[in-house]
Structure 1
Amino acid sequence: MAERKALRELAQGGVLLSSRALDAGWPRRSLTRAVRREGWTRLRAGAWVQPGHAAGFATHLRAVQLLHPQLVVSHLSAAGLWRIETLTSLDGAALEFVDPELGLRREGRGVRVYRIPLDEADVAVRNGLRVTNPPRTLADLLRSGPRDVAIVALESALTYRRVNGVRRAPLTRLDAVAAALEAPLQGKVRGQNRLGTSEPRSGSPAETIARLRMYDVGLHPESQAELLTPDGRRLYLDFLFRAEGLAVEIEGYAYHGTRDAHRRDVDRFNQVMRCSEIRSLLRFTAEDVFHRPARMIREILSALGAPRS
């Protein structure tokens, strides 16, 4: 009898399928004893992760895709693989896939499958996984995801961002996402309307959400408004109500990490206040935007001279 391959040799990206081991000649009882003896961890029915291999987000996606090769990673799971910010944590979230064959009925624990058409041109390979490309991923989120999550994801993908300590370049363009939204799928009009409210130059999720909260109460400031200081320096404000001379700046979580960063920010504040267009400036933290948005809006309305609600 030919010698059986070691289980590690049969694993793919650290994931072993029981069916692959059985096809390679492992008796079921011997396989069960071997995975227990060697310390393999069960990911889901029929899939194991090898000892020493982290059973993280991508590994769980790989296990599902190996079990169901027709599935393509999509929606929030695809966004995570592309390092697109979405406001949502992937820890414990359902793994999301598109089934272009429209046939899978039993999704399994912690798996969500969208039975919608998918062109092969919309599929890319990322970390060894078949995944919807950035334009299709964003179009899917704009069509069916929560508005704030979808627009944060869109604006994240359009610009340079640092995500989980990794700086990445823009992943796509607005016209490519618009083209992806032309597909005759449910939610097309919703997605196109959301696309029209986006600001491709937005610098952070907090900035995106601050703008959406202002839109929700009928405020439409200029975004990334350009100013020239008296000494000729060019500045860009997060938001500017030009007629009222009110600037609004959003400070991310990472600001003031060092003395130099704090000094640069103070200098920038002073330069903004020297511009003739600016009569007042409000600054809000990311915590204000995400956790105290009503107070942020009240302060903006008060500075604009609008009655408080």
Structure 2
Amino acid sequence: MDTPQEIRRATQLLLHVDGLAQRGITRREIDSAVSASRLVRVRPGWYVEASQWQSGRSEQKHLLAILAAQQSTLRRPILSHRSAATLHGLPVWSRWMTRTTALPQGRASLADERSVDLTVGPSEYNAGSSATARHRAALPSADTTQIAGLRLTSGERTVFDLARSEPFPVALACADAYLRGTVRVGRLVDRASWNAWREQLVSRADAMPRGRGMAAVRALAVLADPRSDSPLESVSRLRALQLGLTPELQVAVPNERGGSYYLDLLFRELGVFGECDGKAKYTDPALRNGRSADEVVYSEKRRHDWIEGSQGWRGVRWGAPEVSTAASFARHLRAQRVRVPGRPSLVLGPGIARFLRQLGP
């Protein structure tokens, strides 16, 4: 998401009750428009045309709520958690990652785009509402930043908060995306910076040994990987680890043109490579690069056949439904004659194995 551009667009869409009054629209008429689904109330006093709201993606809807919240207070609040993640461009609103996952404690809905997350000081008034979720924490200046005039938690702090507040698949996908944007350029990964990020995350957990969600924070430090190219790859890797498989990421395979193909996941000990096939690969014009869906399918088939023939590995494909749970992924792999241990191995240590088991089937 191009955040500054999206902010400019959202600002133009927001309608305030005073501005509507200047156009001769009364409060009764506003209420009538809301009841008739012509307007959507984003926040008390702030509205948007229903057609704009309904056609927007979740992150665009949430951005409208953020801007309305910003305009509704004289103070400049510090946006955090899902709100900060939205501004940082992290994939916190991917619905398929959350629809089969238990809700975090205290969150009524994972799709409440109108509820804005703020972090306030430990001694500040902390009454939340349906429109605002307030989190208490002492934030040093290093944990805050600004984007287009909005104050929010830094990317690193935001990932730390998400590990403690969101379903782990969502937190992992967001951590992967954050690392992808900060320690990776093309296929090159700055491993020193990656290791420094890991150490900083563990240090945060060490500073709050009895804090809620620290097991998830420690697991995130071990499991997050900038080589993952999408939320689907992130969750696929997580499910594989839950099942005791040890995937290698983005393994290069020489192709017929002298370049390389890069595999989403390789289970080398099984002689199997895995390809994450999201629906958008075939339906989203932006991802097809001017090709038709048929051309994409044919290109993928040629790629698949080349890798199988040149390497002697067998390829298995899956999409989001297959990795919605570890159990559904196990069923899919076993149906493809892939040997699945069914429980996490100890290769990443007993603590990580225990955490992965606790994520559930």
- Settle same-fold status: TM greater than 0.5: yes
Does the 8 A contact of 1:38 with 1:51 survive in 2? no
Using the TM superposition, give the Cα deviation of residue 153 of structure 1 relative to its aligned residue in structure 2, in angstroms: 0.9
- Whether 2:149 is the aligned partner of 1:116: answer no
Using the TM superposition, give the Cα deviation of residue 269 of structure 1 relative to its aligned residue in structure 2, in angstroms: 0.8
Correspondence 1:203-242 to 2 at 5 A: 203-229=229-255, 232-242=258-268
TM value normalised by structure 1: 0.72
Using the TM superposition, give the Cα deviation of residue 250 of structure 1 relative to its aligned residue in structure 2, in angstroms: 1.0
Q: Determine the C-alpha separation between the residues in 2 that align with 1:108 and 1:16.
A: 20
More helix by share: 2
- Whether 2:257 is the aligned partner of 1:266: answer no
Distance 1:15 1:279, change over 3 A: closer
Q: Determine the C-alpha separation between the residues in 2 that align with 1:246 and 1:138.
A: 32
Match of 1:192 among 218, 221, 226: 218
Distance 1:109 1:308, change over 3 A: closer
Match of 1:69 among 67, 75, 79: 75
Residue identity matched to 1:298: R
Q: Determine the C-alpha separation between the residues in 1 that align with 2:140 and 2:26.
A: 38
- 1:58 maps to 63
- 2:327 maps to 294
How many residues end up aligned between the 2 structures?
273
Correspondence 1:236-251 to 2 at 5 A: 236-251=262-277
Using the TM superposition, give the Cα deviation of residue 294 of structure 1 relative to its aligned residue in structure 2, in angstroms: 3.0
Q: Determine the C-alpha separation between the residues in 2 that align with 1:51 and 1:139.
A: 35
Using the TM superposition, give the Cα deviation of residue 289 of structure 1 relative to its aligned residue in structure 2, in angstroms: 2.4
Residue identity matched to 1:113: R
Residue identity matched to 1:282: V
Distance 1:50 1:37, change over 3 A: farther
Using the TM superposition, give the Cα deviation of residue 127 of structure 1 relative to its aligned residue in structure 2, in angstroms: 4.2
Uncovered stretches (5+) of structure 1, i.e. residues with no partner: 1-11, 19-29, 161-169
Distance 1:68 1:215, change over 3 A: farther
- 1:280 maps to 314
Correspondence 1:16-165 to 2 at 5 A: 36=27, 44=43, 47-48=45-46, 56-65=61-70, 66-67=72-73, 69=75, 71-86=77-92, 87-88=94-95, 90-92=111-113, 94-100=115-121, 102-159=123-180
Q: CA RMSD in A?
A: 3.8
Does the 8 A contact of 1:94 with 1:110 survive in 2? yes
Does the 8 A contact of 1:182 with 1:188 survive in 2? no
Please give the secondary structure, in 1, of the residue aligned with 2:180.
coil
Point out the structure with max Rg over C-alpha.
1
Residue identity matched to 1:268: R
- 2:6 maps to none
- For residues 96-146 of structure 1, the C-alpha deviation after alignment (integer angstroms, 9 at most, x for no partner) is 111135412322223211101112232222344211121111111123332
Uncovered stretches (5+) of structure 2, i.e. residues with no partner: 1-10, 32-38, 54-60, 96-109, 182-188, 284-291, 344-361
Distance 1:15 1:247, change over 3 A: same
* Greater length-normalized contact order (CA 8 Å, ≥ 6 residues apart): 2
Percent identity over the alignment is 24
- For residues 41-67 of structure 1, the C-alpha deviation after alignment (integer angstroms, 9 at most, x for no partner) is 86555x445999x78423322343442
Please give the secondary structure, in 1, of the residue aligned with 2:301.
helix
- For residues 234-272 of structure 1, the C-alpha deviation after alignment (integer angstroms, 9 at most, x for no partner) is 221111121221111111122234233223212211211
